[in-house]
Amino acid sequence: MASWIRCPYCLNWVEPFRLPNSGNYSCPQCKEEIYKDYVEEKRIPKASLGLVGFSGHGKTCYLTSLFYLFKALIGQYRIWNEFSWLSFDRYTDELLYKKTKDFEESTLPQASPSNFPKPALIGFYKIPFMGDYFLSFYDTAGAVYENENTIRDIGRFVAYSEVVLFIISLDDIKYNHDEAYRLLNIYIRGVRGALNINLKRRQHLIVVLSKGDVLELPNDIRYYLEDGSYRWYRSEDGLFLERVNLIKNISVNIRNWFQKMVGWGFIKIAQENFKTVEFTVVSSTGAAPVGDRLATKLNPEHPKRVFDPFLLAIDKLRPLSIWEKLFWW
């Protein structure tokens, strides 16, 4: 038997046992097979990212675009020289290879099913200046978050995540504050009430404004978005940490613009109910699609600022160095 871990598939604290004639383990409760490194590598932090959002607002498209760029970073488009990743099960293989392949061929990914899919489990190694992480990505249908009862039954996997990406397309809701506030209100009520989880102590919120290419952005944020292809995140010039700090600084500009366009209430309820709140803007495809297909064949230059929410999430999860702690004080 191994030491106790939170099973990434059923979220119960368990003591997994090694499978006969295998290096992998099994969860004694849900019976899922767990990749050996996830159980045995104690030095690598484990965390989960959940995606919340309306149906059709781009959750699955964002996640597919992120995985597509991860593939590009270990292929011919290397900007992180020592970076690598490893998928931990067949379900993740399907997301990383089959669905991103369709995405490469300019077909938009289908929305997530309302019945809870497995998480995508990925080991990330040597992220510049941030190290190694085992991350679980949870994505469920937008309809799940329309009702606190379905949050309790299905959305609980996202509710237990350390970081939540709140994906919202302001263009789709016509900058309507009530619609944005309503979804966040239901999510908070479902998690704090039905699941009795203290979000203020447990969860970071990253608001991801999707479909940024069609938003009415001010010039500074528009330029920042358009300058955000994968090449912007290169690490070889020694400015990677400065870029991460810029992502955090631009979050304030995006929040101020959001407040001006949509209103203060959403921001206020978010700040009162989560550990921290950040704002990002992304374009998962670079331009508006035509039906369920992209207007042009996708290449890694097209997605814009897709790494911003991911790097912000890692920054929330990583332990601070002694120098950062001293500087903070």
pLDDT digits 0-9 by tens, 4-56: 899 998 888 999 999 999 999 999 999 999 999 999 999 999 999 988 888 78
Q: Residue 329: what pLDDT?
A: 43
Same domain (yes/no): 172, 296: yes
Q: Which residues, in sequence order, are bridge partners of residue 100?
A: none
CATH number reported for the structural domain that contains residue 245 in this entry = 3.40.50.300
Provide the residue range defining the domain that includes 168: 45-328
Give the pLDDT confidence score for residue 144 in this predicted structure: 66
Q: How far is CA 328 from CA 277, 314, 323, in A?
A: 18, 18, 8
Does 134 score more than 90 pLDDT? yes
Is 36 in the same domain as 69? no
Q: Which pLDDT band, with edges at 50, 70 and 90, does 238 fall under?
A: confident
Q: What's the confidence (pLDDT) of residue 169? A: 93
Q: How many domains does the chain have?
A: 2
The verdict on 266 and 288 lying in the same domain is yes
Q: Higher model confidence: residue 241 or residue 153? A: 241
Whether 64 and 80 share a structural domain? yes
Q: What is the pLDDT of residue 175?
A: 92
Residues 35 and 143 in one domain: no
Query: For the segment 108-118, what is each residue's pLDDT rounded down to a tens digit?
Result: 776 655 444 68
Q: Is the domain of 218 the same as that of 306?
A: yes
Strands (E), the chain: 5-6, 13-14, 17-18, 25-26, 33-34, 46-53, 84-87, 120-127, 131-139, 163-168, 204-209, 277-281
Model pTM score: 0.91
Instruction: Report which of residues 282 and 9 the model is more confident about.
Output: 282
State whether 131 and 14 are in the same domain: no
27 and 148 share one domain: no
Give the integer Cα–Cα distance in Å for 80 and 127: 7
- pLDDT interval class at 96 (50, 70, 90): confident
DSSP structure class, residue 98: I
pLDDT band, residue 328 (cuts 50/70/90): very low
